[in-house]
Chain A
Protein backbone atom coordinates (compact mmCIF):
# COMPACT_ATOMS: atom_id res chain seq x y z
CA UNK A 1 0.00 0.00 0.00
CA UNK A 2 0.95 3.64 -0.53
CA UNK A 3 0.03 6.48 1.78
CA UNK A 4 1.10 10.04 2.35
CA UNK A 5 1.50 10.69 6.06
CA UNK A 6 2.18 14.24 7.22
CA UNK A 7 3.33 15.06 3.70
CA UNK A 8 5.74 12.13 3.36
CA UNK A 9 4.99 9.27 1.00
CA UNK A 10 5.37 5.74 2.27
CA UNK A 11 5.08 2.41 0.53
CA UNK A 12 4.78 -0.78 2.53
CA UNK A 13 3.26 -4.24 2.53
CA UNK A 14 0.62 -4.92 5.13
CA UNK A 15 -1.59 -7.80 6.08
CA UNK A 16 -5.24 -6.92 5.41
CA UNK A 17 -5.99 -7.27 9.11
CA UNK A 18 -3.47 -4.59 10.12
CA UNK A 19 -5.23 -1.69 11.81
CA UNK A 20 -4.32 1.81 10.73
CA UNK A 21 -3.23 2.77 14.24
CA UNK A 22 -0.79 -0.16 14.39
CA UNK A 23 0.52 0.64 10.93
CA UNK A 24 1.22 4.24 11.99
CA UNK A 25 2.83 3.29 15.29
CA UNK A 26 4.68 0.07 14.42
CA UNK A 27 5.51 0.40 10.75
CA UNK A 28 6.09 4.15 10.55
CA UNK A 29 7.17 4.73 14.15
CA UNK A 30 4.69 7.58 14.55
CA UNK A 31 3.87 6.86 18.16
CA UNK A 32 2.20 10.21 18.88
CA UNK A 33 -1.11 8.56 18.02
CA UNK A 34 -2.22 6.57 21.05
CA UNK A 35 -4.21 3.39 21.48
CA UNK A 36 -6.66 3.91 24.32
CA UNK A 37 -9.76 1.76 24.52
CA UNK A 38 -9.17 -0.02 21.18
CA UNK A 39 -12.99 -0.23 20.80
CA UNK A 40 -13.98 2.93 18.84
CA UNK A 41 -14.98 4.70 22.01
CA UNK A 42 -12.24 6.92 23.39
CA UNK A 43 -10.82 8.76 20.38
CA UNK A 44 -7.18 8.69 21.57
CA UNK A 45 -6.25 7.23 18.16
CA UNK A 46 -7.91 10.02 16.14
CA UNK A 47 -6.10 10.97 12.93
CA UNK A 48 -7.26 12.69 9.75
CA UNK A 49 -7.71 10.62 6.59
CA UNK A 50 -8.23 12.80 3.52
CA UNK A 51 -9.08 15.66 5.83
CA UNK A 52 -11.71 13.91 7.94
CA UNK A 53 -11.12 12.71 11.48
CA UNK A 54 -11.32 8.95 12.04
CA UNK A 55 -10.57 6.55 14.84
CA UNK A 56 -7.53 4.73 13.51
CA UNK A 57 -8.20 1.67 15.70
CA UNK A 58 -11.35 1.15 13.64
CA UNK A 59 -9.94 1.45 10.17
CA UNK A 60 -7.81 -1.09 8.37
CA UNK A 61 -4.52 0.28 7.11
CA UNK A 62 -5.45 -0.98 3.65
CA UNK A 63 -8.57 1.21 3.67
CA UNK A 64 -6.23 4.20 3.77
CA UNK A 65 -4.38 3.03 0.66
CA UNK A 66 -3.78 5.98 -1.68
CA UNK A 67 -4.96 8.51 0.87
CA UNK A 68 -3.44 11.37 2.84
CA UNK A 69 -3.11 11.05 6.58
CA UNK A 70 -2.39 13.69 9.17
CA UNK A 71 -1.27 12.66 12.65
CA UNK A 72 -0.37 14.76 15.68
CA UNK A 73 3.26 14.76 14.46
CA UNK A 74 2.18 16.59 11.31
CA UNK A 75 0.53 19.50 13.11
CA UNK A 76 3.65 21.38 14.09
CA UNK A 77 6.79 22.20 12.18
CA UNK A 78 10.27 23.40 13.20
CA UNK A 79 9.54 22.41 16.83
CA UNK A 80 7.05 25.28 17.05
CA UNK A 81 3.69 24.49 18.58
CA UNK A 82 0.65 24.84 16.38
CA UNK A 83 -1.93 27.36 17.73
CA UNK A 84 -4.13 24.53 19.04
CA UNK A 85 -1.22 22.95 20.88
CA UNK A 86 -0.26 26.36 22.28
CA UNK A 87 -3.85 26.92 23.43
CA UNK A 88 -3.91 23.51 25.15
CA UNK A 89 -0.67 24.42 26.93
CA UNK A 90 -1.85 27.89 27.97
CA UNK A 91 -5.22 26.64 29.20
CA UNK A 92 -3.82 23.71 31.19
CA UNK A 93 -5.91 21.44 28.97
CA UNK A 94 -4.00 18.28 29.75
CA UNK A 95 -3.34 16.29 32.87
CA UNK A 96 -2.01 12.80 32.16
CA UNK A 97 -1.86 13.68 28.46
CA UNK A 98 -2.97 10.34 27.09
CA UNK A 99 -6.06 11.67 25.30
CA UNK A 100 -4.31 14.85 24.20
CA UNK A 101 -3.02 13.81 20.78
CA UNK A 102 -6.48 12.60 19.76
CA UNK A 103 -8.14 15.67 21.29
CA UNK A 104 -5.86 18.04 19.40
CA UNK A 105 -6.30 16.26 16.07
CA UNK A 106 -10.08 16.29 16.59
CA UNK A 107 -9.89 19.98 17.57
CA UNK A 108 -7.95 20.62 14.36
CA UNK A 109 -10.75 18.92 12.41
CA UNK A 110 -13.42 20.93 14.22
CA UNK A 111 -11.62 24.22 13.71
CA UNK A 112 -11.13 23.61 10.01
CA UNK A 113 -14.84 22.85 9.52
CA UNK A 114 -16.78 25.06 11.90
CA UNK A 115 -16.61 28.83 11.97
CA UNK A 116 -19.09 29.73 14.68
CA UNK A 117 -18.07 27.66 17.62
CA UNK A 118 -20.05 27.75 20.82
CA UNK A 119 -19.19 25.84 23.95
CA UNK A 120 -22.13 23.55 23.25
CA UNK A 121 -20.95 22.86 19.71
CA UNK A 122 -17.42 22.05 20.91
CA UNK A 123 -18.78 19.67 23.53
CA UNK A 124 -20.93 17.94 20.93
CA UNK A 125 -18.07 17.60 18.46
CA UNK A 126 -15.59 16.14 20.95
CA UNK A 127 -17.99 13.64 22.42
CA UNK A 128 -16.07 10.91 20.62
CA UNK A 129 -12.96 11.81 22.62
CA UNK A 130 -12.80 10.72 26.22
CA UNK A 131 -10.53 12.32 28.81
CA UNK A 132 -10.30 9.93 31.72
CA UNK A 133 -8.86 12.68 33.93
CA UNK A 134 -12.22 14.39 33.15
CA UNK A 135 -10.45 17.62 32.31
CA UNK A 136 -13.11 18.62 29.82
CA UNK A 137 -13.63 22.18 31.04
CA UNK A 138 -10.10 23.25 30.18
CA UNK A 139 -10.11 21.25 26.95
CA UNK A 140 -13.24 23.08 25.81
CA UNK A 141 -11.71 26.40 26.89
CA UNK A 142 -8.56 25.59 24.93
CA UNK A 143 -10.46 24.78 21.74
CA UNK A 144 -12.50 27.99 22.01
CA UNK A 145 -9.29 29.91 22.72
CA UNK A 146 -7.57 28.32 19.71
CA UNK A 147 -10.55 29.28 17.58
CA UNK A 148 -10.20 32.93 18.65
CA UNK A 149 -6.44 32.89 18.03
CA UNK A 150 -6.76 31.36 14.61
CA UNK A 151 -9.33 33.94 13.55
CA UNK A 152 -7.29 36.87 14.88
Chain B
Protein backbone atom coordinates (compact mmCIF):
# COMPACT_ATOMS: atom_id res chain seq x y z
CA UNK B 1 0.00 0.00 0.00
CA UNK B 2 1.11 3.55 -0.68
CA UNK B 3 1.69 5.99 2.13
CA UNK B 4 -0.59 9.04 2.11
CA UNK B 5 0.73 12.05 0.19
CA UNK B 6 3.66 13.50 1.99
CA UNK B 7 6.31 16.18 1.67
CA UNK B 8 10.00 15.34 1.75
CA UNK B 9 12.85 17.44 3.06
CA UNK B 10 16.50 16.45 3.02
CA UNK B 11 18.58 18.66 5.30
CA UNK B 12 22.33 19.12 4.87
CA UNK B 13 22.98 19.03 8.60
CA UNK B 14 21.26 18.54 11.95
CA UNK B 15 20.74 22.28 12.35
CA UNK B 16 18.70 22.47 9.17
CA UNK B 17 16.67 19.44 10.24
CA UNK B 18 15.82 21.04 13.58
CA UNK B 19 14.93 24.34 11.94
CA UNK B 20 12.54 22.61 9.56
CA UNK B 21 10.89 20.59 12.29
CA UNK B 22 10.03 23.66 14.30
CA UNK B 23 6.38 24.38 13.70
CA UNK B 24 6.00 21.75 10.96
CA UNK B 25 4.13 18.48 11.31
CA UNK B 26 7.21 16.45 10.45
CA UNK B 27 8.60 13.01 11.24
CA UNK B 28 12.25 12.11 11.10
CA UNK B 29 13.16 9.46 8.57
CA UNK B 30 16.42 7.62 9.23
CA UNK B 31 16.42 4.07 7.84
CA UNK B 32 12.64 3.90 7.73
CA UNK B 33 12.39 0.24 8.71
CA UNK B 34 9.75 1.02 11.34
CA UNK B 35 8.47 4.33 9.98
CA UNK B 36 7.74 3.31 6.38
CA UNK B 37 5.54 0.32 7.36
CA UNK B 38 3.57 2.67 9.65
CA UNK B 39 3.23 5.24 6.85
CA UNK B 40 2.04 2.50 4.49
CA UNK B 41 -0.58 1.34 6.97
CA UNK B 42 -1.44 5.03 7.47
CA UNK B 43 -1.06 4.64 11.21
CA UNK B 44 1.06 7.77 10.86
CA UNK B 45 0.26 10.61 8.46
CA UNK B 46 2.74 13.42 9.04
CA UNK B 47 2.84 16.30 6.56
CA UNK B 48 6.59 16.00 6.01
CA UNK B 49 9.45 13.57 6.28
CA UNK B 50 12.83 14.94 7.27
CA UNK B 51 15.41 12.52 5.88
CA UNK B 52 18.46 12.47 8.16
CA UNK B 53 19.49 9.00 6.97
CA UNK B 54 22.56 10.21 5.15
CA UNK B 55 23.87 12.85 7.54
CA UNK B 56 27.48 11.72 8.03
CA UNK B 57 27.70 13.71 11.27
CA UNK B 58 25.21 11.31 12.90
CA UNK B 59 26.80 8.05 11.76
CA UNK B 60 29.77 6.99 13.86
CA UNK B 61 31.01 4.68 16.58
CA UNK B 62 33.57 6.39 18.83
CA UNK B 63 35.21 3.97 21.23
CA UNK B 64 36.77 4.93 24.52
CA UNK B 65 36.18 4.82 28.28
CA UNK B 66 32.77 5.99 27.17
CA UNK B 67 31.66 4.86 23.74
CA UNK B 68 29.37 7.13 21.76
CA UNK B 69 27.23 5.88 18.93
CA UNK B 70 25.66 8.25 16.41
CA UNK B 71 21.95 7.76 15.94
CA UNK B 72 22.00 6.95 12.22
CA UNK B 73 24.59 4.20 12.68
CA UNK B 74 23.11 1.16 10.98
CA UNK B 75 22.46 -2.17 12.65
CA UNK B 76 24.90 -3.98 10.35
CA UNK B 77 27.65 -1.56 11.31
CA UNK B 78 27.12 -2.32 15.00
CA UNK B 79 26.74 -6.03 14.22
CA UNK B 80 30.13 -6.08 12.54
CA UNK B 81 32.02 -4.22 15.26
CA UNK B 82 33.17 -5.67 18.56
CA UNK B 83 33.40 -2.85 21.09
CA UNK B 84 35.56 -3.87 24.02
CA UNK B 85 33.49 -4.02 27.21
CA UNK B 86 30.26 -3.58 25.23
CA UNK B 87 30.10 -6.88 23.35
CA UNK B 88 26.39 -7.05 24.12
CA UNK B 89 25.72 -4.28 21.58
CA UNK B 90 27.22 -6.30 18.73
CA UNK B 91 25.38 -9.31 20.05
CA UNK B 92 22.01 -7.52 20.04
CA UNK B 93 22.58 -5.71 16.73
CA UNK B 94 23.18 -9.02 14.96
CA UNK B 95 19.73 -10.19 16.10
CA UNK B 96 17.65 -7.20 14.99
CA UNK B 97 15.10 -8.03 12.28
CA UNK B 98 16.79 -9.76 9.37
CA UNK B 99 19.77 -9.05 7.12
CA UNK B 100 17.87 -6.65 4.85
CA UNK B 101 16.44 -4.69 7.79
CA UNK B 102 19.88 -4.50 9.42
CA UNK B 103 21.33 -3.14 6.16
CA UNK B 104 19.09 -0.06 6.34
CA UNK B 105 17.72 0.34 9.87
CA UNK B 106 19.43 2.58 12.40
CA UNK B 107 20.06 2.35 16.12
CA UNK B 108 18.60 5.82 16.76
CA UNK B 109 15.51 4.99 14.74
CA UNK B 110 14.89 1.84 16.72
CA UNK B 111 15.44 3.59 20.06
CA UNK B 112 13.21 6.55 19.14
CA UNK B 113 10.50 4.23 17.89
CA UNK B 114 10.49 2.49 21.31
CA UNK B 115 8.65 -0.61 20.23
CA UNK B 116 8.02 -2.49 23.48
CA UNK B 117 9.34 -5.71 21.91
CA UNK B 118 12.41 -4.33 20.17
CA UNK B 119 15.94 -5.29 21.11
CA UNK B 120 17.99 -2.20 21.85
CA UNK B 121 15.83 -0.53 24.52
CA UNK B 122 16.46 -3.37 26.99
CA UNK B 123 20.14 -3.49 26.11
CA UNK B 124 20.74 0.24 26.55
CA UNK B 125 18.67 0.23 29.74
CA UNK B 126 20.84 -2.58 31.14
CA UNK B 127 23.93 -0.61 30.12
CA UNK B 128 22.74 2.54 31.94
CA UNK B 129 23.25 4.40 28.67
CA UNK B 130 22.79 8.14 28.34
CA UNK B 131 20.69 9.48 25.48
CA UNK B 132 21.96 12.76 24.05
CA UNK B 133 19.16 14.75 22.53
CA UNK B 134 19.42 17.89 20.41
CA UNK B 135 16.89 20.61 19.75
CA UNK B 136 17.24 24.27 18.80
CA UNK B 137 17.41 24.99 22.52
CA UNK B 138 20.62 22.96 22.74
CA UNK B 139 21.56 19.57 24.11
CA UNK B 140 20.02 17.62 26.92
CA UNK B 141 20.93 14.25 28.38
CA UNK B 142 18.67 11.60 29.70
CA UNK B 143 19.19 8.13 31.19
CA UNK B 144 17.89 5.33 28.98
CA UNK B 145 15.62 4.19 31.76
CA UNK B 146 13.84 7.57 31.81
CA UNK B 147 13.89 7.99 28.03
CA UNK B 148 11.42 5.15 27.42
CA UNK B 149 7.97 6.20 28.58
CA UNK B 150 5.64 3.56 27.16
CA UNK B 151 4.71 1.77 23.96
CA UNK B 152 6.15 3.73 21.02
CA UNK B 153 6.60 6.66 23.37
CA UNK B 154 9.81 8.33 24.49
CA UNK B 155 10.58 11.60 26.18
CA UNK B 156 11.41 13.16 22.79
CA UNK B 157 9.19 16.07 21.86
CA UNK B 158 8.48 16.83 18.19
CA UNK B 159 11.24 19.43 18.02
CA UNK B 160 13.97 17.07 19.23
CA UNK B 161 16.31 14.53 17.62
CA UNK B 162 18.11 11.71 19.39
CA UNK B 163 21.62 12.61 18.31
CA UNK B 164 23.78 9.96 19.95
CA UNK B 165 23.97 7.46 22.74
CA UNK B 166 26.75 7.38 25.31
CA UNK B 167 27.68 4.18 27.12
CA UNK B 168 30.35 3.34 29.68
CA UNK B 169 32.24 0.15 28.91
CA UNK B 170 31.43 -2.73 31.25
CA UNK B 171 34.99 -4.05 31.46
CA UNK B 172 35.28 -7.59 32.73
CA UNK B 173 31.53 -8.26 32.58
CA UNK B 174 30.12 -11.34 30.97
CA UNK B 175 27.34 -10.06 28.78
CA UNK B 176 24.73 -11.45 26.48
CA UNK B 177 21.52 -10.51 24.71
CA UNK B 178 19.15 -13.38 24.04
CA UNK B 179 15.75 -13.38 22.48
CA UNK B 180 13.10 -15.98 22.15
CA UNK B 181 10.97 -15.86 19.01
CA UNK B 182 8.30 -18.25 17.80
CA UNK B 183 9.18 -17.78 14.13
CA UNK B 184 12.30 -16.51 12.38
CA UNK B 185 12.15 -12.74 12.02
CA UNK B 186 9.54 -12.14 14.69
CA UNK B 187 9.86 -9.49 17.31
CA UNK B 188 10.95 -10.90 20.67
CA UNK B 189 8.40 -12.86 22.66
CA UNK B 190 10.82 -12.17 25.48
CA UNK B 191 14.34 -10.77 25.25
CA UNK B 192 16.94 -10.60 27.99
CA UNK B 193 19.89 -8.23 28.27
CA UNK B 194 22.22 -9.60 30.93
CA UNK B 195 25.61 -8.46 32.18
CA UNK B 196 27.36 -9.68 35.30
CA UNK B 197 30.76 -9.09 36.77
CA UNK B 198 32.25 -12.04 38.59
CA UNK B 199 35.40 -11.46 40.61
CA UNK B 200 37.10 -14.35 42.49
CA UNK B 201 33.90 -16.34 42.42
CA UNK B 202 31.68 -13.50 43.68
CA UNK B 203 29.14 -11.50 41.68
CA UNK B 204 30.21 -7.87 42.00
CA UNK B 205 27.58 -6.32 39.77
CA UNK B 206 24.56 -7.43 37.77
CA UNK B 207 22.39 -5.86 35.09
CA UNK B 208 19.17 -7.57 34.13
CA UNK B 209 16.68 -6.04 31.68
CA UNK B 210 13.90 -7.64 29.65
CA UNK B 211 12.07 -6.65 26.49
CA UNK B 212 8.65 -7.81 25.31
CA UNK B 213 7.26 -8.11 28.82
CA UNK B 214 5.69 -4.70 29.36
CA UNK B 215 5.04 -1.40 27.68
CA UNK B 216 8.71 -0.46 27.95
CA UNK B 217 12.00 -2.19 28.83
CA UNK B 218 11.86 -3.77 32.27
CA UNK B 219 14.92 -3.60 34.45
CA UNK B 220 14.62 -5.97 37.39
CA UNK B 221 16.62 -4.50 40.24
CA UNK B 222 15.10 -7.09 42.58
CA UNK B 223 16.66 -9.87 40.55
CA UNK B 224 19.95 -7.99 40.33
CA UNK B 225 20.06 -7.58 44.11
CA UNK B 226 19.41 -11.28 44.67
CA UNK B 227 22.65 -12.24 42.97
CA UNK B 228 24.90 -9.33 43.92
CA UNK B 229 27.60 -10.37 46.42
CA UNK B 230 26.71 -14.04 46.04
CA UNK B 231 28.62 -16.98 44.63
CA UNK B 232 25.79 -17.59 42.17
CA UNK B 233 24.84 -20.92 43.65
CA UNK B 234 21.75 -22.73 42.39
CA UNK B 235 19.76 -21.24 45.23
CA UNK B 236 21.00 -17.69 44.47
CA UNK B 237 19.96 -18.18 40.87
CA UNK B 238 16.52 -19.46 41.74
CA UNK B 239 15.94 -16.51 44.09
CA UNK B 240 16.86 -14.11 41.27
CA UNK B 241 14.66 -16.00 38.83
CA UNK B 242 11.66 -15.73 41.15
CA UNK B 243 12.40 -12.04 41.79
CA UNK B 244 12.63 -11.29 38.06
CA UNK B 245 8.90 -11.76 37.51
CA UNK B 246 7.79 -9.89 40.62
CA UNK B 247 6.37 -6.50 39.85
CA UNK B 248 5.72 -7.19 36.19
CA UNK B 249 2.58 -8.31 34.46
CA UNK B 250 3.51 -9.15 30.86
CA UNK B 251 0.90 -8.71 28.12
CA UNK B 252 -1.02 -11.58 26.54
CA UNK B 253 -1.18 -11.58 22.76
CA UNK B 254 -0.99 -13.87 19.75
CA UNK B 255 2.65 -14.65 20.53
CA UNK B 256 2.04 -15.86 24.06
CA UNK B 257 -0.01 -15.44 27.20
CA UNK B 258 1.11 -13.41 30.16
CA UNK B 259 1.91 -16.52 32.20
CA UNK B 260 3.77 -18.10 29.33
CA UNK B 261 5.90 -14.97 29.00
CA UNK B 262 6.71 -15.15 32.71
CA UNK B 263 7.83 -18.77 32.33
CA UNK B 264 10.00 -17.79 29.38
CA UNK B 265 11.53 -14.92 31.40
CA UNK B 266 12.39 -17.32 34.21
CA UNK B 267 13.81 -20.03 31.99
CA UNK B 268 15.82 -17.52 29.97
CA UNK B 269 17.34 -15.91 33.05
CA UNK B 270 18.06 -19.24 34.76
CA UNK B 271 19.79 -20.75 31.74
CA UNK B 272 21.78 -17.60 31.01
CA UNK B 273 22.99 -17.21 34.59
CA UNK B 274 23.97 -20.88 34.76
CA UNK B 275 25.88 -20.57 31.50
CA UNK B 276 27.76 -17.54 32.77
CA UNK B 277 28.58 -19.22 36.07
CA UNK B 278 29.77 -22.40 34.40
CA UNK B 279 31.93 -20.46 31.97
CA UNK B 280 33.77 -18.58 34.72
Show the binding face of A for B, using Cβ within 8 Å: 15-19, 22, 38-41, 43, 46, 49, 52-55, 58-60, 62-63, 106, 109-110, 125-128
Contacts and interface: CB of A to CB of B under 8 A. Distances in A.
B99 A109 contact: yes
A54 B104 contact: yes
Interface stretch (B1-9, B85-93, B140-148, B214-222): B1-9
Interface in B1-27: 1-8
Contacts of A40: 33, 36-37, 101
> Nearest 6 pairs between A and B by C-beta?
A128-B98, A16-B8, A127-B184, A52-B103, A17-B3, A128-B100
Contact of B103 (A16, A17, A53): A53
Given A39-B37, A58-B37, A62-B8, A16 B97 contact: no
A88 B182 CA distance: 29
Given A54-B104, A128-B99, A63 B37 contact: no
Contact of B100 (A16, A43, A62, A63): A43
B2 to A, nearest CB: 6
Contacts of A53: 99-100, 103
Contacts of B33: 40, 58
A17 B100 contact: no
Contacts of A16: 6-8, 49
Given A40-B37, A63-B53, A55 B101 contact: yes
Contacts of A15: 5
A13 B201 CA distance: 65
Contact of A60 (B5, B32, B98): B32
A39 B104 CA distance: 15
A63 B51 contact: yes
Contact of A54 (B1, B2, B100, B185): B100
B98 A127 contact: yes
Interface in B23-73: 29, 32-33, 36-37, 39-40, 49, 51, 53
A22 B1 CA distance: 10
Given A17-B3, A52-B76, A128 B97 contact: yes
7 contacts: A46-B100, A52-B76, A52-B104, A54-B100, A58-B104, A63-B51, A128-B100
Given A16-B49, A59-B32, A38 B1 contact: yes
A94 B2 CA distance: 30
